Amino acid sequence: MIKFAYDGITSFSVFPLKIALNIGFFSILIALFLVFYAIYQYLFFPTVTIPGWTSILVAVVFFGGVQLFTIGIIGEYVGRIFEESKNRPLYIISEKINFEKDN
């Protein structure tokens, strides 16, 4: 049943792709916050900071966020192509009321 649920979520929805896009965006924001925090720590508390640790952390979070954000954007394009390829109508008319047929 877990495999069935996984297939249902990933096969018929672009929602996981939107989640990846949002998580990537927030990772980039966190990395930018960490940059400003690292600069603040370096300027005002130089003896407390561990050399090199912050720069590695910021680089990993930032580039991981950029990759996830890029995958999310590509996934959005693929998801839209998938929706278009199903060739479904935008809407379905269930009933016609006061409709005159043209001859």
What are the residue ranges spanned by the domains of the chain?
A: 21-85
Confidence (pLDDT) at 38 = 84
More confident residue, 13 or 63: 63
Q: In the numeric block, which tokens belong to residue 63?
A: 């580039």
- C-beta separation of 65 from 30 below 8 A: yes
- C-beta separation of 28 from 62 below 8 A: yes
H or E element: which one contains 30?
Answer: helix 15-44
- C-beta separation of 14 from 22 below 8 A: no
Give the residue from 11, 15, 59, 16 showing the smallest Cα distance to 34: 59
pTM (predicted TM-score): 0.69
- The predicted model gives 85-93 an average pLDDT of 78
Residue with tokens 């400003």: 36
Q: State which amino acid sits at residue 7.
A: D
Residue 103 reports pLDDT greater than 80? no
Digit-coded pLDDT (tens) for 34-53: 889 888 888 888 777 777 88
Helix (H, G, I), strand (E, B), or coil: what is residue 21? Answer: helix
